[in-house]
Amino acid sequence: MQIDPRSHRPIYLQIADGIRAAVAAGIYRPGESLPSLRSLAIDVQVNPNTVQKAYDELVREGLIFARRGKGLFVDEQGAASAQTHAQNVIRQTFENGIRTGRAAGMPNKQMRNIFEGSLRDTADGEN
Amino acid sequence: MQIDPRSHRPIYLQIADGIRAAVAAGIYRPGESLPSLRSLAIDVQVNPNTVQKAYDELVREGLIFARRGKGLFVDEQGAASAQTHAQNVIRQTFENGIRTGRAAGMPNKQMRNIFEGSLRDTADGEN
Amino acid sequence: MQIDPRSHRPIYLQIADGIRAAVAAGIYRPGESLPSLRSLAIDVQVNPNTVQKAYDELVREGLIFARRGKGLFVDEQGAASAQTHAQNVIRQTFENGIRTGRAAGMPNKQMRNIFEGSLRDTADGEN
Amino acid sequence: MQIDPRSHRPIYLQIADGIRAAVAAGIYRPGESLPSLRSLAIDVQVNPNTVQKAYDELVREGLIFARRGKGLFVDEQGAASAQTHAQNVIRQTFENGIRTGRAAGMPNKQMRNIFEGSLRDTADGEN
DNA sequence: GTGGTCTAGACCACT
DNA sequence: GTGGTCTAGACCACT
């Protein structure tokens, strides 16, 4: 999981994004356990409290649930909702970019070009 | 100009983004003066200090410059630089969305669909 | 016996509450033996240590007592004490609800209405 | 606001309960500001982080909203929801008490007596 | 070992 | 001064 400490997006939300994406991608499946607070904290080089805040966010969303002394688990119904949630986030992000372009008077055609360039530049093999 | 007080992006950067987009769009042209601190502060419902910080940012970037006692003006070369800056911001935004999609295992095709949907949904007439 | 793992009331106290209520209701009578640690642990899906703690609590209260190598038994005077203890717990619970209502400016009449509604909604046949 | 440090209910939830009740009671009205993190922390003798967690809970509920640098305010629509929320909490509490009574084989009549006793004992003048 | 609460204290953005 | 994030570290309940 990638954390950008210079981003204005709080670390705990970046972590929540990462877990959400991983569940959406099927890396963690319904009923399966997630990395423990402490192990993930070591993994992303962050204080356990910050990971806790990230997980808390996802528990409230209904994506995961916690069992004291046992661990954190992907909710049976939660995985599907992670997919749609991820889609919404992506759409929201694209719309923000597009709105910025609109404000700068940029035509759709140019924005499509930029988008295709972004797809190419972030390609990590097969897509 | 749209300010989202709940966004984690600092308000002064949101204001700078807005000015930059307006310059790129030709709303403020090279040599023209920009709104005063106080008028813009009232406009976006924010403390003048915050607008000051936004203008500082843009002066540092070279997009605008200050004439003591006269106000702030758009740099001659500023308009072009605003264009490229806006492009970079947009590209950055798209790449963020794409990275989220990749993390969730979403194929390019689906992301293109979402992008086109976003273009359509944010259309405000002719584009 | 109902255990709510999401409640902030420790599980061992929830188990003790359950046993106490069962003794008060005459399900376990004075002199009779109680379920073994392991059987109750399996029953409520909990670690035997947690059941142990619940029994410890009840022994301390004087509701039950242990015969080494034989098991746990309901105290002769225990049944009566369970009755009064259950009454205290219930009273305490009602008072908590009433205090919340008072804090929200709710008149007694409305609280009585809510109480009667609760009695009705939780009715499981004859009461 | 009363905090019981011996309760198993976390302090931050006790604080949230208190604020919710105060809004329901009309002590804080829609649009009005709430005590600041620091002042409330001093008031209830608790760490500001704990108050923060309580307010965070209420922000998520939609009862209040926060403005960075300005303070916390009661949501226009939130006040009404506080009333119903308070009612639900009270009902939930009563039902818990009643369920305990049922488990102990207590008849409705006796529970009504206990309830009336509780109303009397917690009376603080006119109700 | 695992989740959850709490304190103490630093630092940031905004008013 | 006001809300918000983060670290470091203690302590609790449960496995």
Which is it for strands B64-67 and A71-74: parallel, antiparallel or unpaired?
unpaired
Share of chain B above pLDDT 90, in %: 46
- Provide the shortest C-alpha distance from residue D47 to chain C (in Å): 20
Please, are residues C73 and C34 in contact by the beta-carbon 8 Å criterion? yes
Contacts within 8 Å (CB) and 24+ apart, A97-101:
A97/B89, A97/B90, A97/B93, A97/B94, A97/B97, A98/B90, A98/B118, A98/B119, A98/B122, A99/B2, A99/B122, A100/B17, A100/B21, A100/B86, A100/B89, A100/B90, A100/B93, A101/B86, A101/B90
Please, are residues A23 and A78 in contact by the beta-carbon 8 Å criterion? yes
Establish whether the CB of D55 is closer than 7 Å to any nucleic acid atom in strand E: no
Is D91 in Cβ contact with C114 (below 8 Å)? Answer: yes
Helix (H, G, I), strand (E, B) or coil at A74: strand
pLDDT digits (tens, 9 = 90+) for B65-108: 988 888 899 998 888 888 888 888 899 899 989 988 888 888 99
In this model, does residue A87 exceed pLDDT 70? yes
Q: What is the pLDDT of residue C125?
A: 56
pLDDT digits (tens, 9 = 90+) for C54-65: 999 999 888 999
Q: What would the mean pLDDT of B60-69 be, rounded to a whole number?
A: 88
Q: What would the mean pLDDT of B14-41 be, rounded to a whole number?
A: 90
For nucleotide E14, the protein residue with its alpha carbon nearest to C1' is: D69
Residue numbers in C near D25 (CB within 8 A): 103-105
* Gap between the Cα atoms of B21 and D114, Å rounded: 69
In this model, does residue A4 exceed pLDDT 70? yes
Report CA(D16)–C1'(F15) in Å, whole number. Answer: 31
In this model, does residue C127 exceed pLDDT 70? no
Is D117 in Cβ contact with C104 (below 8 Å)? Answer: no
Does D118 reach chain C within 8 Å, measured CB to CB? yes
| Dihedral sign, Cα of residue C99, residue C103, residue C108, residue C109 | negative
* Gap between the Cα atoms of D92 and D115, Å rounded: 15
Q: Is B111 exposed, middle or buried (0-12, 13-18, 19+ CB in 10 A)?
A: buried
Chain F positions with a protein C-beta closer than 7 Å: 1-9, 13-15
Phi/psi of residue D48, nearest 5 degrees: -55, -35
Helix (H, G, I), strand (E, B) or coil at C9: coil
| Nucleotide nearest the Cα atom of B3 (by C1') | E14
Q: Which residue of B has its CA nearest to D68?
A: B5
- Provide the shortest C-alpha distance from residue B114 to chain D (in Å): 28
Going residue by residue through chain D, which has 127 residues, state the pLDDT in tens, using 9 for 90 and above.
889 988 889 999 999 999 999 999 899 999 999 999 999 999 999 999 999 999 999 999 889 999 989 999 999 888 888 888 888 889 989 998 998 888 888 999 999 999 999 999 988 654 5
For nucleotide F2, the protein residue with its alpha carbon nearest to C1' is: D69
Chain E positions with a protein C-beta closer than 7 Å: 1-9, 13-15
Please, are residues C21 and D104 in contact by the beta-carbon 8 Å criterion? yes
* Gap between the Cα atoms of A91 and D112, Å rounded: 56
Helix (H, G, I), strand (E, B) or coil at C67: strand
In this model, does residue B53 exceed pLDDT 90? yes
Report CA(D41)–C1'(F8) in Å, whole number. Answer: 21
Please, are residues C85 and C18 in contact by the beta-carbon 8 Å criterion? no
In this model, does residue A125 exceed pLDDT 60? no
Q: Which residue of D has its CA nearest to C126?
A: D107
Q: What is the pLDDT of residue D28?
A: 94
pLDDT digits (tens, 9 = 90+) for A49-74: 999 999 999 999 889 999 989 999 99
For nucleotide E1, the protein residue with its alpha carbon nearest to C1' is: A69
* Gap between the Cα atoms of B122 and B36, Å rounded: 30
